[in-house]
């Protein structure tokens, strides 16, 4: 074999390896590391040891649009934003309201759902019929949520009972250790619909928008997620998810 022919074959062999390496890299997409507090049905919760809920299925659909798998980790709500600032996760999704304070330390995607804070009381409670009736009463809230700061600022007469988990908040109302609970509208309607024994005061305390929190140093990921949300709305997948998880007026 001539030297020129041997050199040509060697070159083709190296190029072939390079092509194969590039193909393998493209097929092993980097996962999106997502944190959530899976105690907030219908947004996110555990069922048969698996993550499920509106937020979960939405992010999984976003991952498919971006050709990236999603790697989930369950974290207490108060630890979601710190998981991003410490770079242990890429995104946080857990019924997180977009607020100026949070936007100082993380990026938010465009809003993907409208919600708001509502008050929940027992069916048998006849003393609380509007927001003003909450003053002087004990109100359970989840640590780290907007409910805490909003009630401190706007209803200082309320006695806050802070708990770690969303379910604990409702339990305190059910057993009479709290007069009311203040939480996001989807979770309140889900609890009233599936558990019963409670009613929701007619007017929301606030109108809020949910967003996916993204690490500040990943603006491209935020933009990619925004594009995926637009695609899901355009192709009808987003509407299918809202119809599935918010069949009544709980959105």
Which residues form the domain of 72?
Answer: 32-114+209-245
Same domain, 199 and 219: no
Same domain, 102 and 128: no
Please tell me whether the overall predicted TM-score, pTM, comes out greater than 0.75 for this model: yes
Same domain, 143 and 200: yes
Same domain, 88 and 62: yes
Same domain, 215 and 173: no
Judged by DSSP in three states, 115 sits in strand
DSSP H or E run through 44: strand 44-47
Same domain, 104 and 43: yes
Per-residue pLDDT tens digits of the chain, which is 251 residues long = 444 444 434 443 433 433 333 333 345 689 999 999 999 999 999 999 999 999 999 999 999 999 999 999 999 999 999 999 999 999 999 999 999 999 999 999 999 999 999 999 999 999 999 999 999 999 999 999 999 999 999 999 999 999 999 899 999 999 999 999 999 999 999 999 899 999 999 989 999 999 999 999 999 999 999 999 999 999 999 999 999 998 754 45
What CATH number did the domain enclosing 159 receive? Answer: 3.40.190.10
Number of structural domains in the chain: 2
Same domain, 125 and 59: no
Same domain, 202 and 220: no
Same domain, 123 and 194: yes
Residue 140 lies in a domain: yes
**Which strands make up the sheet holding 39-40, listed edge to edge?**
39-40, 44-47, 50-52
Residue 26 lies in a domain: no
Distance CA 38, CA 77 (A): 9
Distance CA 128, CA 150 (A): 19
């Amino acid at each position: 074999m001539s030297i020129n022919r041997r050199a040509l074959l060697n070159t083709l062999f190296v190029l072939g390896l390079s092509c194969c390496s590039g193909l393998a890299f493209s097929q092993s997409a980097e996962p999106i590391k997502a944190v959530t507090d899976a105690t907030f049905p219908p947004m996110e919760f555990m069922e048969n040891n698996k993550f499920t809920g509106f937020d979960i299925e939405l992010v999984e659909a976003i991952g498919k649009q971006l050709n990236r798998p999603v790697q989930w980790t369950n974290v207490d709500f108060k630890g979601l934003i710190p998981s991003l600032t410490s770079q242990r996760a890429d995104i946080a999704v857990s019924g997180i309201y977009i607020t100026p304070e949070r936007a100082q330390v993380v990026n938010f995607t465009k809003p993907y759902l409208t919600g708001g804070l509502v008050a929940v009381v027992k069916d048998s409670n006849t003393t609380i019929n509007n927001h003003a009736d909450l003053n002087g009463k004990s109100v359970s809230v989840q640590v780290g949520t907007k409910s805490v700061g909003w009630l401190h600022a706007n209803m200082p007469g309320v006695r806050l009972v802070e708990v770690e988990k969303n379910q604990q908040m409702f339990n305190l109302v059910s057993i009479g250790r709290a007069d009311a609970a203040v939480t996001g509208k989807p979770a309140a309607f889900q609890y009233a619909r599936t558990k019963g024994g409670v009613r929701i005061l007619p007017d929301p305390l606030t109108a809020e928008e949910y967003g996916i929190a993204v690490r500040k140093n990943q603006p491209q990921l935020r933009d990619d997620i925004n594009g995926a949300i637009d695609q899901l709305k355009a192709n009808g997948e987003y509407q299918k998810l809202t119809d599935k998880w918010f069949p009544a007026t709980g959105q």
